Amino acid sequence: MKNFKFKLMMMLAFMTAMLCDCAKEASPDGGFMPFYDHSLLLSFRDISGNDLVKGIGYDPENKKPGETVLWKYGTDEYMIVKSEDLGGIVQPDLYTLEYIFPDGIPNPWKPPPGIIIFGFMAVGSNENVPQLSLQTGLSFFPTATSAVNMDYDYLYFSNGSYRAGYLIRDCEFPEKIIIRFTCPYLFGDNEAHDIVTWWKKDATGSLRAECYRIEFEGKEFTDITLTPLHQISTIILDR
């Protein structure tokens, strides 16, 4: 089941990238994806640049631990890694995660009665529990760019919002979503920390919402990079 849920989250990122050139604004009688994608890939570091994510417990998504993967890049560069070193689902006892939407905007994680969810989260009928996944730096080879440092690990926050006219006929686009996140391994305490994210619709009409600002404990982060599969940023903690 954990492997299935992980693949669902990865599938959303892939499908969104494939739809970027053809998926347009929602309408009641067109299209087939009921959600905008608000997913983020975040690195957490201290003021000295140390990786605070690395070492967090996770369950590898691959069914065959120890299996090696060969990735080639160009004609003379390659890497052989163990498949379980690429990432997986963060162990659920290590964190709590909640997505908070503005008042009046339906929260897909707490769908109205009768709405069945299938997409970036598991199938459910009342309330779904968000999951957090880990992508190690190795997982980005051979597509690593200046936005992705392979020396760091990243947490993948998979989230979305309803598109008007599909599962719910009338709803607004959420310009602000709060990620309420508890993780003693990362923050060194048991407190809930709010990551405030600001969004706008993609100018091309794709289903991937664009994050243009992140606020965390009085700091503002606007260095957010879009790749074909991800939106990537780094949060610096005062540690």
Q: Per-domain residue ranges for the chain?
A: 2-18+36-237
Contact, 179 vs 197, CB < 8 A? yes
Residue 233 vs residues 88, 155, 198, 201: alpha-carbon distances, Å: 19, 10, 13, 18
What pLDDT was estimated at residue 150?
73
Distance, in Å, from the CA atom of 199 to the CA atom of 221, rounded to the nearest integer, reads 13
In the three-class reduction of DSSP (H, G, I as helix; E, B as strand; rest coil), residue 48 is classed as coil
What pLDDT was estimated at residue 138?
62
Residue 13 vs residues 30, 107, 109, 230: alpha-carbon distances, Å: 21, 20, 18, 7
Distance, in Å, from the CA atom of 50 to the CA atom of 87, rounded to the nearest integer, reads 19
Mean per-residue pLDDT pooled into runs of 10, the chain (239 residues)? 45 42 37 78 95 91 53 52 74 94 88 59 55 78 58 90 76 94 96 97 86 96 86 91
